[in-house]
Amino acid sequence: MTPSELQSLFASLKVWHGNGWRAPHKPLLALWAIGRCLRHEARLAPYHEVAHELEGLLRRFGPPRKRISPDLPFWHLQRDGVWEIPEADRVTETKSGHAHVTSLRREGARGGLPADVFQVLRQDRVTALDIVHSLLDSHFPVTLHDDILSAVGINTGHVDSDVLNFDDREGSGTGQDFEQVRRRSRDPSFSKKVLDAYREQCAVCSFSVRLHDAPVALDAAHIKWHRAGGRDRDKVSNGLSLCALHHRLFDAGAFTLSPKYTVIASSEAAGSGRNQFLEQFSRRPILLPERTDDYPDHRSLKWHQREVFGPIVEGVDY
């Protein structure tokens, strides 16, 4: 298997569903498995271990859902050609084609990357990290990348996505595709328009430090993630000017905005700093752009609440 064949296998994991529903289960499982490979751990792991680890990842980085079912990606990632369960023949399925969890346990099912995939990734660290960054870029906002990498135990070292030498890889196809992904995820005109609309201040805390006459640590955040698609994703109304800290807190679901543009802090956020950076802004309106057309779009806010923040206080209707 060549590096570019491997790239396209991982790039074709089907995960986004209609209407922007997030299903990052497969990418998270793939990242977890690649992490094991890069740490030189065993290729296969028993179901209970995979389920435990994946459940933790889904709680942190998956959409806020009442039910978390690690058995689904564990079983269905097989179809994407990047996952193997040697005991699969003995596992029984439900009518809808899912594995019976009891059967997975009883048969001692183990899962992991197929041997040929595992071999290539272990020998070719650059390709492995290319795939890791493509998975992150395709499914998660940049603000979450470091946290996900550390959760799956991948140390990218100095081979950072921004310093990979694409010229060396010309012709293989993978480098170019990867570069396109990076380009697509950063739209400078979107950033400028959003920061201008918010007069270069954090919409939550008004942070507006400037250095050499330019704003620092101020980002144009997407409300509905760029990766979630949608025609209006690069409109100012899908953006928020946020300081680096509020950007990360927003993408992680530590707060969201009500339809009246007030801050709603997550009851699950805890620890020192919660009052200072979240609670004191709670129920207070954010700073809004001058043009009402640029106000945060209600459909985007609803998406953020449903796919990132989680169950919301009653009476909030977008």
Which parts of this chain interact with Zn ion (CB under 5 A)?
202, 204-205, 207, 243, 246
Give 101 or 202: the residue with its C-beta nearer to Zn ion: 202
- By the 8 A CB rule, do 92 and 99 touch? yes
CB of 206 to Zn ion, least distance (A): 7
Give 144 or 205: the residue with its C-beta nearer to Zn ion: 205
Distance of alpha carbon 76 from alpha carbon 226, whole angstroms: 26
Give 118 or 281: the residue with its C-beta nearer to Zn ion: 281
- By the 8 A CB rule, do 82 and 117 touch? yes
Neighbours of 46 (CB within 10 A): 15
Token code pair at residue 27: 């990418």
What's CA 119's distance to the chain center, in Å? 26
Give 22 or 246: the residue with its C-beta nearer to Zn ion: 246
Distance of alpha carbon 66 from alpha carbon 216, whole angstroms: 38
CB of 250 to Zn ion, least distance (A): 9
CB of 236 to Zn ion, least distance (A): 18
**Maximum Cα–Cα distance for the chain, whole Å?**
66
Give 198 or 207: the residue with its C-beta nearer to Zn ion: 207
CB of 239 to Zn ion, least distance (A): 15
CB of 210 to Zn ion, least distance (A): 15
CB of 193 to Zn ion, least distance (A): 19
Distance of alpha carbon 285 from alpha carbon 306, whole angstroms: 20
Integer CA distances (angstroms), 259 to 229, 268, 302, in order? 21, 21, 8
Distance of alpha carbon 219 from alpha carbon 241, whole angstroms: 6
Which runs of consecutive H residues, i.e. helices, occur in 110-232? 115-123, 125-139, 142-151, 174-184, 188-197
Give 85 or 243: the residue with its C-beta nearer to Zn ion: 243
The 3-state DSSP class for residue 255 equals: strand
CB of 249 to Zn ion, least distance (A): 8
Give 30 or 243: the residue with its C-beta nearer to Zn ion: 243
What's the burial of 298, exposed, middle or buried (CB within 10 Å: 0-12/13-18/19+)? middle
